[in-house]
Amino acid sequence: MRRLTSVMASTVILLMIVLQGGLWAAGRDLSRELMQAVEEGDLNQVRLLLQKQAPVNARNDSGWTPLMKAAYNGDTAIVRELLARGAQVNIKGKAGWTALMQAAQFGHLEIVQMLLNKGAQVNASSTNGSTALMVAASNGHIAVIKTLLNHGAIADSRDRLGRTALLLAASDGYARVVEELLARGSEVNAQEVSGKSALILAACYGQKAVVGVLLSHCADVALRDSQGKSAIDYARQQHHVAIAKMIAAAKPCP
């Protein structure tokens, strides 16, 4: 009798292990199918899989959730569906990026607004210190930048290299973004780890319009980086003659 009881108990345990393994495999397969449907922009398939209890916050090998992928793709309808099904907005991937950062990077304004309205942390940072504002600034998405600032984004947050949104925008020549950030209180003379200011970066990369904006906001032409070079030094070194003349002609601010 004892032997029979022991055999029965072992059978039950084995059955439970098999069932649990089957459920885990099924959940894993549904997760993969959901991520694939999101990737393909198939809203109907996303809805079907969610009805089958596909885990809405499952992650792929990069730590991305379906919401992150939909935000990256700019798929407003799928983002809306995932949020309605309980997708968490502040989960981070392995690189520390959130869905908000993914949307901000590509200027997906409506998705940015939806995520913020669902409680996305506007100043969340990635593993290298980047924020949604920084990635929007480095890609020139002015409407997204205004929205983020209106929701409390810190204009002068710094990444691990000491760069602010202003420094990133200046490097890439986004004059309107530079103007907006300065109007919102960004420090015009902020310097990154290497000592370069927005003016030095703009002069180095030949961003004439940005140089004009920075000079009109009293950027310090005398600042030098860790190599001892100023904005005019870089302008001359890179043969940006017009920019060198602008800096030389700049009048001291009162």
The total of other beta-carbon atoms located within 10 Å of residue 93's CB is 20
Give phi and psi for 129, each to the nearest 5: 90, 0
pTM of the entire predicted model: 0.87
Give phi and psi for 95, each to the nearest 5: -90, 0
Residue-wise pLDDT tens for the chain (254 aa)?
A: 555 455 455 544 444 443 344 444 445 589 999 999 999 999 999 999 999 999 999 999 989 999 999 999 999 999 999 999 999 999 999 999 999 999 999 999 999 999 999 999 999 999 999 999 999 999 999 999 999 999 999 999 999 999 999 999 999 999 999 999 999 999 999 999 999 999 999 999 999 999 999 999 999 999 999 999 999 999 999 999 999 999 999 988 87
Burial class (CB in 10 A: 0-12, 13-18, 19+), 124: middle
Please work out, in degrees rounded to the nearest 5, the angle formed at the alpha carbon of residue 24 by the alpha carbons of 19 and 25.
95
